[in-house]
A and B are shown apart, each in its own frame.
Chain A
Amino acid sequence: MNAATGRRPRTRHARLLVADASGRVSNRTHRDLPSLLQAGDLVVANDAATLPASLAGVHIPSGSAIEVRLAGHSSPAWAGESATAVSFTAVVFGSGDHRTRTEERPAPPRLRVGDALLIASLRARVVGINGHPRLIDLEFEHSTDDTWEGLARHGRPIQYAHVPETLAIWDTWTSFAAPPVAFEPPSAGFILDWSMLSHLRQRGVRFATLTHAAGISSTGDPELDARLPFDEFYVIPASTAILIELTKAEGGRVIAIGTTVVRALEHAARETGHVAGGRGLATGRIGPDTALRVVDAIVSGIHEPGTSHYELLRAFHREDVISSISEEAASNDYVAHEFGDAVLITRPDAATASLAA
């Protein structure tokens, strides 16, 4: 399996590795996706746009150069929370940028509550340390509009050494990206463009979205990486909740585009088994022992064993099927990571009584 090194290879020639309900694995392309779905199925995608969440700055007390990577929202207005200042949780790196592997980045100076930071031309303050010296709560000391101006104009998308070219913000937005609340791209959504949405509609496949603030996928610090994914806010529109109910009632399948959609829907349904519209804070990990209650199939990137994304895929099928997907991806040089190829995994017990059946 290769790490993706080129930008945006996906919509033109991304490949799709398909594991059906019986566990049979086949090699397709992303253009085949509509033909693999049926009338009555519901595709649910995460419409979060990606923030320019990598902010170059200075730790004022020490004068050291730092990179701040925004990693979580604290009481965000978009999720119905009331806040007087724009605030985030963030992972802090020492000097340098994405071209150095995160594991090899120098550590930031010692950070303390009350420290002033100058980031993205904005004044900010450390208001909390989150059980790890590099994981902070920060608050911007500007009006909401002025804070957003600084972030929008001076932030850069978070990226990693496996894509050395500097990404533009538009490289990280899906076709249907809407509110700018994700810290890294909900990249499974790259598979959908407006033409494919139109093909899906023509096939009688419904489309809905939720907004999930996808967090960072890696920090390079083993202790922090073990805590990923961080808690993530989500909002499920009432219209999406209704379409899920309708789809279930008619025997259609719910197809999640990306791990964040699984995380939001399964969190929302954790108590009743039904998805109610509204906001929530997704916590915890999904893994092989998680009983999925809403999502029947997932489209996701190719993930390497040991990552939280890979663990989530294990909730969808038997161990031998997930293993054979990994082997097939490796032997066919599938491209891993956010700008690479994709998998479609359908649960063995997924609904089969779709309208077309």
Chain B
Amino acid sequence: MTRTNLQPLRVAITGGTSGLGAALVAELVGRHAQVAFVARHRDAIERTRRQFPDAHGIVGDVARKDDIHPIAIQIVAALGGLDVLINNASSLGPVPLAPLADTECEELEIALATNLVGPFRLTRTLLGTLAASARNGGHPLVINISSDAAVTPYPTWGAYGASKAALLHLTRIWDAELAAEGIRLVSVDPGDMDTPLHALAVPDANPATLKRPHVAAREIADLIASTVITPGVAYRSEVLL
């Protein structure tokens, strides 16, 4: 399958230095999109930037309220606007995973801050920029990375699953509300991948049984191409890869 060129698109990815996020940076840079990526650690950002010198690395933690506007300002300054926001940064909650009865309130709060409140704040702060893209003829898209744990009640995945379930529903409601503005929101469940996050959650998983992140990244880039570049085709608000 040929890869659709994403050259005119301005894309921002949170959690962009590891796992699916790093694979998305590589895939989207490879398709000539203008890319900004956000991560918490400057050393990891510098490593990614050496690999992809055209991508803009931004230090910030989406779980921190005070980081959101600085992140948004740097994204829009670097890209001159925004067409696609990928809320990918995720927190597992307690590591190792724990039943809810053994989960500290603070661990649940961290999962909610990273997986729900952070994507809400960043999306809300960038909404004006996405709306400007729509007024200028674009088809802006917010992709929130979801999980089967958002739907299925897996024991010990309580903090993560509850936060991702809330994000899934927030995405549905916001998509309905913003349809008239020309802004779409979509949840994407990339499947179980061989990533650092998965290794934290399931340390003894056999990597050979897991999906490679670059495969999911290619599928998400194809979804962007079909939604943003040639919109109107097979739009779905929830996507299982």
On chain B, the residues within 8 Å of A170 by CB distance are 69, 125
Which residues from chain B contact A145 at a C-beta distance below 8 Å? 56-57, 74, 78
Question: B-side binding surface: helix, strand, loop or mixed?
Answer: helix
**From B57, B73, B132, contact of A47 by CB (8 A):** B132
Q: A145-B74, A152-B74, A180-B73 in contact; A239/B81 too (CB < 8 A)?
A: no
Contact status B180-A149, CB under 8 Å: no
Residues of chain B with a CB closer than 8 A to A175's CB? 127-128
Of the candidates B78, B81, B137, which one forms a contact with A178 in the assembled complex, judged by CB atoms under 8 Å apart? B81
Q: Are B80 and A49 within 8 A (Cβ)?
A: no
B74 CB contact (under 8 Å) in A78, A148, A173: A148
Residues of B within 8 A of A239 (CB): 135-137
Smallest CB–CB gap between A99 and chain B, Å?
Answer: 21
Overall SS of chain A's interface: helix
Smallest CB–CB gap between B58 and chain A, Å?
A: 7
B73→A78 contact, CB < 8 A: no
A160 at interface, CB cutoff 8 A: no
B76 within 8 A of A: yes
Which B residues lie within 8 Å of A13 (CB)? none
Which among A148, A149, A169, A237 is the interface contact of B136 at CB below 8 angstroms? A237
Residues in A with CB closer than 8 Å to B132 are 47, 176, 178-179, 209, 237
Q: Tell me the total A-B contact number using a CB cutoff of 8 A.
A: 77
For the complex, give the distance between the alpha carbons of A237 and B81 in Å.
Answer: 13
* CB of A353 within 8 Å of the partner chain: no
B-side contacts of A49, CB under 8 Å = 73, 76, 128
CA distance A237 to B135 in the complex (A): 9
Kindly state whether residue A22 has any CB partner on chain B within 8 Å: no
Complex CA gap A351/B78 in Å reads 41
Q: Which residue on A lies nearest to B129, using beta carbons?
A: A178
In the bound complex, CA of A147 to CA of B223 (Å)? 34
A201 within 8 A of B: yes
B131 interface hit (Cβ, 8 Å): yes
Is B208 engaged at the interface, CB distance under 8 Å to the other chain? no
Q: Are A178 and B180 in touch, CB under 8 angstroms? A: no
Q: How far is the CB of A254 from chain B (nearest CB, A)?
A: 16
Question: Given A145-B78, A239-B136, are A176 and B73 also a contact pair (CB < 8 Å)?
Answer: no
A146-187, CB under 8 A of B: which get 1 and which 0? Answer: 001101110000000000000001100111111110000000
Q: Any chain B CB within 8 A of the CB of A198?
A: yes
Residue B1, interface by CB 8 Å: no
A185 to chain B, nearest CB (A): 13
Complex alpha-carbon distance, A215 and B77, angstroms: 18
- In the complex formed, the residue of B with least CB distance to A154 is B70
Q: Mark B54-84, 1 if CB is under 8 A from A, else 0.
A: 0011110000000001111110111011000
Q: Report chain A residues within 8 Å CB of B57.
A: 145
Q: Among A153, A176, A178, which residue has the most Cβ atoms of chain B within 10 A?
A: A178
* A residues in contact with B69, CB < 8 Å: 152, 169-170, 173
- Compute how far the CA of A52 lies from the CA of B76 in the bound complex, rounded to whole angstroms: 14
Closest to B69 in A: A169
A25 within 8 A of B: no
In the assembled complex, the CB of A341 is this many whole angstroms from the nearest CB of chain B, namely 23
Any B CB within 8 A of the CB of A77: yes
Task: Write out, one digit per residue, whether chain A residues 198-216 have a CB within 8 A of any chain B CB (1) or not (0).
Answer: 1001000000110000000
Minimum Cβ distance to chain A for residue B61 (Å):
12
* Residue interface bits A44-63, CB-to-B below 8 A is 1, else 0: 00010101100000000000
- B binding-site residues for A, Cβ under 8 Å: 56-59, 69-74, 76-78, 80-81, 125, 127-129, 131-132, 135-137, 180-181
10 smallest A-B Cβ distances: which pairs? A152-B70, A176-B128, A152-B73, A178-B128, A178-B129, A178-B132, A148-B77, A169-B69, A177-B128, A180-B73
